[in-house]
Structure 1
Amino acid sequence: MHLLSITVALGLLGGILAQVNVLRPACDSPEAEEAAIVAQDYLNAHHTHGYKYALNRIEEIKIYHVAEGDDTYVLEVELLETDCHVLDPTPVANCTVRPKHLTAIEGDCDVVLKKVGGVLTVTAFKCKTEESREDVCVGCSTLLPLNHTQGLEFVKASLNKLNNVTQNLTYTLLDVGRMSTQVVSGGQRYISEFVVIEASCVNDTCVPLNDTMAARGICTSEGMDDPSVNCKMFSTLMPLVDANSTAMPVLPPHVHVHSDRNSHKHGFGHHKLTAHHNPHMSDYLSAESAESAEVVPVAPAINVSTDGLSSPSPASDDSSSDASSASAEVPIAVVKREAPASIVGDAPAAQNVPVAPVQLCPGRIRFF
């Protein structure tokens, strides 16, 4: 009965292994890079406020290969915030990652992709976004919460100054990207980044033009009481193709229009990546649970005694005696061979030469 059970179990296990193979390519391999860039662009396309994120490192990759089926890629990637706003059509490959001393923002994401007909598409993801607190310098600017009262007053003063110098155009606030402060000899110095859009104004009430051809851009301002303002206007925000042929999103109809100091309800100093997408559609998103549930079958070791009879390897301390007896019932064929005379007694002793393990993951760090 034991022999029959083991035979059936091994047959079922062999059938499962024939259907799904878990592959672990190197994190810097071309297929890992391709999947990571697709994931990066997909995450940016679903990030409607703040700034684009660039791939910094591939932490882990698994490919679940199904015979005559679609492959499933499971990635863990680390992303860093750039200085390109999500509405900026500049390809993310041409954007600058924010240095640490300007409070770098890091996104850690688990992403599941399907490869169908050679094309990778994202099916689910979950992300965690946080500030990098490493190497924060003394005297550097620090981020303010996006609902900071004095910071928003400074942004409002900056917008008013912009509208006082523009001709035939009036802008309204579309999105506050960042606000920070720095203590200087004269007091508190503010630095802000915000996106503006052309507006239609009636009796001091301005409404953003819901038009893809409306003028818009990102402005930076700094100072104390009298801010200096510089703006870079975007080109038209029609669908553009990024460096990897991924379509970028069109401006949503309404995006974070800040009409007063209470527009921001959250107290974070940065815009978080979208936390998750279709997590219920994938069983691969929890890296810890997937790792613990993954079983890699190992053939039992067989000891060959000096009398030519086989015996099972000693069971580990936590193995049951039933398991040991069951292993002993597996039929094993043992064939004894005579060693060639040329090597009898002349074989050199085995050399225990340490072999350095191949580091497949995590991959290289692109920025810091």
Structure 2
Amino acid sequence: MTSKMFSTLDSFDTILSADSVEWCPIENFRDIFVCGTYKLLEKESIDASESQKRVGRIYLFQVEHGRLNLLEQLEGAAVLDMKWARSTVSNKILLGVANAKGMLQIYELIGDSRPCLRFLKQIHIEKPGEVVLALSLDWSMGEQFINNLSTRITVSVSNGSVHVFELTDETLEEIKSWHGHEYEAWITAFDYWNPNIIYSGGDDSKFKSFDIRVDTPVMINRSHTAGVTSLHSNPGEQFLLASGSYDERLRLWDTRKLGRPISKTNLEGSVWRLKWNTFENNYLLAACSHSGFRVLDCKNIEKPIILAEYNEHESLAYGCDWSFLNSTELFQRDLYPEPGRQISLVSTCSFYDHLLNLAIIEF
């Protein structure tokens, strides 16, 4: 059953399991988003290291009159995470991809009439030949974007390590790494208000904070009772950070006091992705694995309220994101019949039923 706040506009069968969706934040391209997929192929082989192969696709969509228009489909390694740079970098619209071959890849969105993705560069996160998966990534939104200085990307890896890369016109190179977690480092994220601070969460149930200027963690928190799977710094509210875990709790944090969370909210499902709303910074979208998607109002950070549930997916709810189109733009594009209403456009995706949905949320 779908909450009255949600209205599904369109759906797409991604064929392979869908686990990541990300909307382009750059003006004139905010009707575009990507969806990443994952499939584990089994094949007979004497060599155990060759017995499994993870493949995936990147789908590039444009939304037109409430429908999904597939612009491009790229075949490659399984996609674990994707993120757009929130500002242009050297006048380029860039997408970062973390994949199952242990690579960080950079693509550029090009073309006006029919946009497409052009591969720019990639880097092995660990030594060539070492079998790891790149699990998550994030772009810094700090002073380096504002001052047009260096651009940094953090990536977490299945062996527990956390890395920081610097991107220039000529190179993509590692500038820092830590052994962050005993098992999979499921998530890494920048503090969007301090470009030197990076957070990570792992299957060892630890939530950590790193400063790229030092060699050891500056904070280790053990309040999660299962693996830490999602972290997102609020881009509109300084010091506010959200974390999600296999323990099914959303935790909100004041980054000045990371000893204990401000609040814990039971979302009744493993919290795989958390995304703060683009325009209303108190709204949070959560992908809750076997319990669908949730929208929360976190205006009172001590007592977040679950506003709506979205249960039109029949499998693990893994990917979700808010569009960067505002209410007026959505009305102008015939995506909603009533002007002046506060609405948001979201995309959601789920794993085993390989379903991608486009939906309107009415507040």
Give the TM-score normalised by the residue count of structure 1: 0.22
Q: Which has the larger radius of gyration?
A: 1
Q: Whose RCO is larger (CA < 8 A, sep 6+)? A: 1
Give the TM-score normalised by the residue count of structure 2: 0.22
Higher strand share: 2
